[in-house]
Amino acid sequence: MPSPSRPSVNMGAALPGVRKGESLFEFSSKSGSSDADADIYEEEPAYQVASAAGMARLTPNGLLKQRESVDTACLKPALVGMLKAIERHYGKRIVVTSGYRSPSYNRRVRGARKSLHMYCAAADIQIAGVSKWELAKFVRSMPGRGGVGTYCHTKSVHVDVGPERDWNWRCRRRK
């Protein structure tokens, strides 16, 4: 029977999927040697440095945000459920372009005076390869949905869990 392991100073042993004695990162030179000193001036490194910038936009509730400043942390469970149902229908991830808005930010972006964004009950969304008209039409067909709106100045569709209502703000032609 194996004896229980004790915590050690070597943090690699404590990470899931990392076996004792294996390192998280391996560097090797073009010559294949595993010298401890990597030659940073080699023309083609034998390693790739991963970037987590894209992953930083994945939120704890599983939504993708368009940019880091989009706040989705407080979105109501019913709204998150509706957004996940939309993702399942299209087989693609939605991108939240606007989530929670503070009252001052909502005024700055000319949001509705009683916008459900200020109550964590609304999100503006997009799906790559799906037009805002097609997306809005599908969301309007969903049972139990709230408000669905489109705007002339954005490709996003407003979705909320408030009372059922619809709007399409078209751009006015200048004369």
The one-digit pLDDT tens for each residue of the chain (175 residues) are 555 544 444 444 454 544 455 444 444 444 544 444 444 444 444 444 444 444 458 888 889 999 999 999 999 999 999 999 999 999 999 999 999 999 999 999 999 999 999 999 999 999 999 999 999 999 999 999 999 999 988 999 999 999 999 999 887 776 6
The pLDDT of residue 170 is 82
Interatomic CA distance for residues 80 and 161, integer angstroms: 10
The pLDDT of residue 45 is 42
The pLDDT of residue 26 is 45
Interatomic CA distance for residues 55 and 68, integer angstroms: 11
Domain chopping of the chain, boundaries = 55-169
H-helix or E-strand containing 90? helix 77-90
Q: What is the side-by-side order of every strand in the sheet holding 122-126?
A: 64-65, 95-98, 122-126, 157-160, 147-151, 165-169
The pLDDT of residue 1 is 54
For 138-149, give the DSSP string: HHHTSTT--EEE
Q: How far is CA 1 from CA 6, 8, 25, 86, 96, in A?
A: 15, 21, 32, 50, 51
The pLDDT of residue 35 is 47
Domain 55-169 has CATH 3.40.50.10800: no
The pLDDT of residue 174 is 66
Nearest to 148 by CA among 128, 171, 123: 123
